[in-house]
């Protein structure tokens, strides 16, 4: 017995010591991560010194968000790592800053993969075209140009590629992932209710079909073809190659080697990186034995503006409200649009007497119809007191269009995905899964016919289907009326271009869903014009989270992502499917959402 208690006490003591050591290590790791973060934050707050003859180095291989953080930081502490995303607003403003900065003779585009949507790429491309009006040069180089990267690089004065490198030019494609087969194997039925005439509302198709419907295929061919045409037009103008020749290059897969791209005029020349350095040294008149001076766009964000003494107070302001991600009820997170958070942001901008106009930047595939209506109401109230202009990003569709509809003017890029005016509801019937796969059955007692309405353990009755269909149709009618009022069109006209149909920015212009082509800067300029402002400051909403809170949120997200990666590896396709299924799980109520995860390749 003594021996038993001896071993038991030793085991307890060992467990306690192990837990204490684990806790101590955890505190040290967290402390190190926070220390590293604050060290980086402290460094990021310092002004970057830019010497004369310094090249602005732009590399865009990390995800680009609409609104970048005020403090740029990067740290990696094992599993605990976080990095500030680069904001489109920062990229655009710093290209504009470099345009008038005498210390910067030109831009070096370090191109390969561009982690952004087509409209975002278009906005950056337009900023680079404007930069060239200063007489300064742009040089691009890459070992491998993706199609987006080449489209962006095509504005450069000189485009170079590694001699054994690749220039991808074969046309665009977009695909959808279908889960019906998986659900069938699991014994799960996706019970779908969409607007009675919403034949284009194909967000539900992955769960009830194994391929695109004819309506969905037709609309996708239309908007994807529009984006491809716009892309060809831009390259044609920049490289002086006919659109017919560009189409032939893609159709016949003529660009298989770097030398093919040079021969066809897509690329200025093939060279090694050391030879590129010599080209840049010649352009900057840097001696052969001296190093080039360059500054990354991340560091250039902290560089002072030419002629700015640091004091630039302006009484009048334009509010810029960034609405990015899926729309849901409640507060939401930085990566989504919470109805409470964004209604409050719009309300604050409306009530702020120093704010003379509001720009709502929308980059959203939609989400909850109810949450969209809550935000719409605040846009209507704001519009009654001051000019309201919408700037659409890569996607501003379905619920994203819902919250845009009330604006005085809507700006979008030709490559923006918009429209998708339609709604749906989805409720899984998991009876087969529970009964046949798990051996679980259910029974119960209720006081009314519909007391258990919405239970996933059984299929919907005909009466319940009818109730849901009526609710969805009423929501669609409300959606039509909101757009009709905002765009000054009849509901019949909106319905004819609605029914869930997705449009490119180019086609949206032709049918009256948008007013002007242009990005965020064009929308801000229009808001200033409507408000009669010439000199103004910008005020961004929603209010940012406390840096410590945001740090722990980022760490938590990175830890979660690490566990996902541990199971799925680094396969981007598998991770994308996982995110789609997770997104389905989070859907609540009637949805105003685009068809599927749109990824133009």
Domain that holds residue 533: 317-428+437-593
Degrees, nearest 5: CA angle 401-406-409: 90
| Catalytic site residue from 99, 148, 201, 232 | 201
Contact 469, 227 (CB under 8 A): no
Q: Name the percent of the chain lying above pLDDT 70.
A: 80
Full 3-state SS string of 221-264: HHHHHHHHHHHHHHHHHHHCCCHHHHHHHHHCCCCCCHHHHHHC
Do 540 and 69 meet the contact criterion of CB atoms below 8 Å apart? no
Structure confidence at residue 31 as a pLDDT band (50, 70, 90): low
Q: Which of 300, 335, 368 is the last residue of a domain?
A: 300
* CA dihedral of 382, 388, 394, 396, whole degrees rounded to 10: 50
pLDDT band, residue 335 (cuts 50/70/90): confident
Confidence tier at 128 by pLDDT (50, 70, 90)? very high
- pLDDT band for position 73 (50/70/90)? low
Known catalytic residue: 398? Answer: yes
Residues 359 and 498 in one domain: yes
Is 66 in the same domain as 142? yes
274 and 422 inside one domain: no
What is the total count of domains within the chain?
Answer: 2
Residues 283, 387 within the same domain: no
* Span of 158-162, 238-242, 328-332 with lowest mean pLDDT: 328-332
Question: Which CATH number does the domain housing residue 367 bear?
Answer: 3.90.226.10
Q: Which DSSP letter does residue 336 get?
A: S
Task: Characterize the bridge pairing of strands 409-412 and 366-368.
Answer: unpaired
Is there a domain that residue 245 lies in?
A: no
Decide if pLDDT at 162 tops 50.
yes
For the CA atoms of 160, 166, 168, 169, what is the dihedral angle to 10 degrees?
Answer: 70
What local confidence, expressed as pLDDT, does residue 572 receive?
46
Q: Say yes or no to pLDDT of 79 above 50.
A: no
Phi, psi of 472 (to 5 degrees): -65, -45
Q: Are residues 328 and 291 in the same domain?
A: no
Range 556-571 average pLDDT = 51
For residue 565, tell me if it sits in a domain. yes
In this predicted structure, the answer to whether residue 574 has a pLDDT above a threshold of 80 is no
pLDDT at 336: 86
Q: What is the pLDDT of residues 412-442, one digit of tens each?
A: 999 999 999 999 999 999 999 999 999 999 9
The Cβ-side half-sphere exposure at 127, using a 13 Å CA radius, reads: 24
Reduced to 3 states (helix: H, G, I; strand: E, B; else coil), residue 53 is coil
265: which DSSP letter?
T
Q: Which residue has the higher pLDDT, 12 or 86?
A: 86
- Residue with the larger pLDDT of the pair 328 and 554: 328
Mean pLDDT of 69-96: 72
User: For position 47, what pLDDT does the model report?
Assistant: 80
- Rounded CA-CA distance 420/362 in Å is 15
pTM for the full predicted model: 0.84
How many residues make up the chain in this entry?
601
**Judgement on whether residues 155 and 86 belong to the same structural domain of the protein:** yes
pLDDT at 4: 46
- Range of lowest pLDDT (42-56, 267-281, 419-433, 579-593): 579-593
Verify whether residue 201 is a known catalytic residue: yes
The DSSP bridge partners found for residue 189 are 429
Distance of CA 30 to the CA centre of its chain: 30
Asked if 280 and 397 sit in the same domain, the reply is no
* Active-site entry in 398, 420, 484, 504: 398
């Amino acid at each position: 017995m003594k021996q038993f208690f001896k071993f038991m006490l030793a085991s307890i003591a060992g467990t306690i010591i192990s837990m204490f050591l684990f806790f101590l290590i955890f505190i040290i790791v967290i402390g190190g991560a926070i220390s590293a973060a604050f060290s980086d934050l402290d460094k990021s707050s310092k002004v970057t010194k830019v010497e004369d003859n310094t090249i602005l180095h732009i590399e865009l291989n990390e995800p680009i968000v609409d609104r970048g953080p005020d403090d740029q930081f990067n740290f990696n502490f094992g599993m605990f790592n976080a990095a500030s995303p680069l904001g489109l607003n920062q990229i655009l403003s710093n290209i504009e800053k470099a345009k008038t900065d005498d210390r910067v003779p030109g831009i070096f585009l370090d191109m390969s993969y561009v982690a952004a949507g087509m409209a975002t790429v278009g906005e950056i491309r337009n900023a680079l075209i404007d930069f060239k009006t200063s007489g300064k040069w742009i040089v691009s180089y890459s070992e491998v140009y993706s199609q987006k990267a080449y489209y962006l690089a095509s504005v450069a004065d000189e485009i170079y590629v590694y001699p054994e490198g690749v220039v991808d030019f074969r046309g665009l494609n977009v695909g959808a992932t279908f889960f019906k087969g998986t659900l069938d194997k699991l014994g799960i039925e996706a019970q779908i209710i969409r607007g009675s005439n919403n034949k284009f509302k194909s967000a539900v198709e992955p769960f009830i079909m194994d391929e695109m419907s004819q309506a969905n295929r037709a609309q996708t061919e239309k908007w994807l073809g529009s984006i491809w045409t716009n892309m060809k037009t831009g390259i044609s103008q920049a490289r002086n190659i006919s659109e017919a020749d560009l189409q032939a290059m893609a159709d016949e897969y003529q660009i298989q080697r770097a030398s093919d791209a040079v021969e066809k005029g897509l690329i200025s020349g093939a060279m090694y990186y050391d030879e590129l350095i010599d080209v840049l040294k010649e352009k900057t008149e840097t001696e052969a034995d001296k190093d080039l001076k360059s500054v990354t766009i991340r560091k250039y964000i902290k560089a002072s503006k030419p002629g700015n003494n640091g004091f630039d107070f302006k009484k009048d302001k334009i509010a810029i409200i960034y609405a990015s991600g899926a729309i849901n009820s409640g507060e939401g997170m930085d990566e989504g649009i919470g109805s409470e958070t964004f209604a409050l942001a719009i309300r604050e901008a409306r009530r702020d007497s120093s704010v003379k106009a509001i720009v709502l930047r929308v980059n959203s595939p939609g989400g909850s119809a109810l949450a969209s209506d809550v935000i719409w109401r605040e846009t209507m109230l704001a519009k009654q007191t001051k000019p309201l202009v919408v700037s659409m990003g890569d996607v501003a569709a379905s619920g994203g269009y819902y919250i845009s509809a009330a604006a005085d003017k809507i700006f979008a890029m030709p490559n923006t995905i918009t429209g998708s005016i339609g709604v749906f509801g989805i409720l899984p019937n998991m009876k087969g899964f529970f009964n046949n796969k798990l051996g679980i059955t259910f029974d119960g007692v209720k006081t009314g016919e519909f007391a258990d309405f919405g239970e996933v353990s059984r299929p919907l009755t005909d009466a319940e289907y009818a109730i849901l269909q009526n609710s969805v149709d009423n929501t669609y009618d409300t959606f039509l009326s909101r757009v009709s009022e905002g765009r000054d069109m009849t509901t019949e006209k909106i319905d004819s271009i609605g029914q869930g149909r997705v449009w490119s920015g180019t086609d949206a212009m032709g049918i009256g869903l948008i007013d002007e082509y242009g990005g965020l800067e064009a929308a801000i300029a229009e808001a200033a014009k409507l408000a009669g402002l010439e000199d103004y400051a910008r005020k961004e909403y929603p209010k940012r989270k406390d840096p410590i809170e945001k740090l722990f949120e980022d760490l938590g997200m990175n830890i979660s992502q690490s566990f996902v990666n541990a199971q799925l590896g680094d396969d981007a396709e598998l991770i994308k499917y996982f995110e789609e299924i997770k997104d389905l799980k989070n859907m609540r109520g009637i949805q105003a959402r685009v068809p599927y995860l749109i990824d133009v390749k």
